[in-house]
Amino acid sequence: MELPVWTSYRDLLKEKVVEWRFSIFFFTDADVIRQCSETMCFPELTNQGLTSIHKVDGMNQFGDPHEINVASELPLTVEVDGVELVTLMTLGTHPEKLVLGYLRNQTLFDSLRKIKSISVDWNNSLATVITADGSGLEGIDVSKRTITTGCGQGTVLSCTLDKLYDHRVEKRSVKQSDIYRVLKSMQPFNQAYRVAGSVHGCGLYRNGEVVAFIEDVGRHNAMDTIAGEMWLQNIKGEDAFFYTTGRLTSEIVMKAALMGVPVLISRNGTTHMGQELAEELGVTLVSRAKSRQFLAFNADNIIFDEKPRMN
């Protein structure tokens, strides 16, 4: 299916779209777009997503030559009003949303109206953020950073940690059958992983469907990109499930709380710090979730309504 190429999100305001791309699927709510159009809440965004898969020459274990699919890994330096903030290692498919979600999940901006534009220039590996009032990061301490366990090394700023406990989520009842539905709904995705491996996938499940799915070289980047999408679409997280192929570390739990999502599901495991932080922030963790099996933490809210098969 041929898709329109949007030069900015102001173009997107003019249409009702259902968009499919190689690494993301999302549904655009026409009512939300109409509301944002009236209030002009969208920043100007370029559309500089790149192809995520490359073919290179290699060989197999027998010495036979092969053309092999490999995933991209590109540096993208983020500048806010001319001040360098961070360099993200990314697949490069949705860089503007990645930057937007990173700014949100680091609690650097609390309103889209404060961001005038985000423009990406791959020739210089640069994402330029221009604020509405030109104040940049004035008054925000970004000097102290924690290097996380994220692929490609994620970062958490001290200002993020300072505000973290203001974002505790309210635990809600979770049906075992809903966990199974989420897992089943995510099965058609992970296209880049199937072709080349080397990436993580993250998905947002809400109202019975997958409303966003992103792949990136780091699960933290994929999560930030969905956070950017949620911000643009005004999607609330309290009635959503978040799925990731990566492990549930403290950083991922933090991001879930900052996005307002109360349930994290992963086919991987969790860390002790991730489990402890989930209890403090009210996030339910469902780990090592494959087929009909899972292990859950902070999970007294799970309703066991569907007996799993033994095999």
CATH number of the CATH domain containing 211: 3.40.140.10
> Helix H segments across the chain?
9-12, 30-39, 95-105, 158-163, 176-186, 191-196, 219-233, 250-258, 272-281
Q: How far is CA 82 from CA 85, 86, 93, 126, 128, in A?
A: 9, 12, 24, 11, 8
Are 182 and 288 within one domain? yes
pLDDT of residue 41: 64
Predicted TM-score (pTM) of the model is 0.82
pLDDT of residue 311: 56
Query: What is the total count of domains within the chain?
Result: 2
Residue 100 lies in a domain: yes
Are 209 and 152 within one domain? no
Are 114 and 181 within one domain? no
Which domain, by its residues, includes 207?
174-303
Are 204 and 266 within one domain? yes
Are 125 and 182 within one domain? no
Are 150 and 264 within one domain? no
DSSP class of 11: H
Residue 94 lies in a domain: yes
pLDDT of residue 211: 95
Residue 59 lies in a domain: no
Span 47-104, pLDDT tens digits: 999 988 999 999 989 999 999 999 999 999 999 999 999 999 999 999 999 999 999 9
Task: Quote the distance between the C-alpha of residue 175 and its chain's center.
Answer: 24
Are 147 and 237 within one domain? no
CATH (domain of 137): 3.10.20.10
For the chain, how many residues are written?
A: 311
Token match 């549904």: residue?
A: 27
CA distance 190 to 23: 8
pLDDT of residue 194: 84
Backbone angle region of 111, left / alpha / beta, with phi > 0 → left and psi within -120 to 50 → alpha: beta
Are 183 and 295 within one domain? yes
Among 166, 182, 197, residue at a domain's last position:
166
Span 265-277, pLDDT tens digits: 999 999 999 999 9
CA distance 41 to 19: 21
pLDDT tens for the chain, 311 residues long, are: 233 333 343 444 344 333 333 344 444 444 444 444 434 468 999 999 998 899 999 998 999 999 999 999 999 999 999 999 999 999 999 999 999 999 999 999 989 999 999 999 999 999 999 999 999 888 777 766 554 545 444 566 655 667 788 889 999 999 999 999 999 999 999 888 888 888 899 999 999 999 999 999 988 999 999 999 999 999 999 999 999 999 999 999 999 999 999 999 999 999 999 999 999 999 999 999 998 899 999 999 999 999 887 65
Residue 57 lies in a domain: no
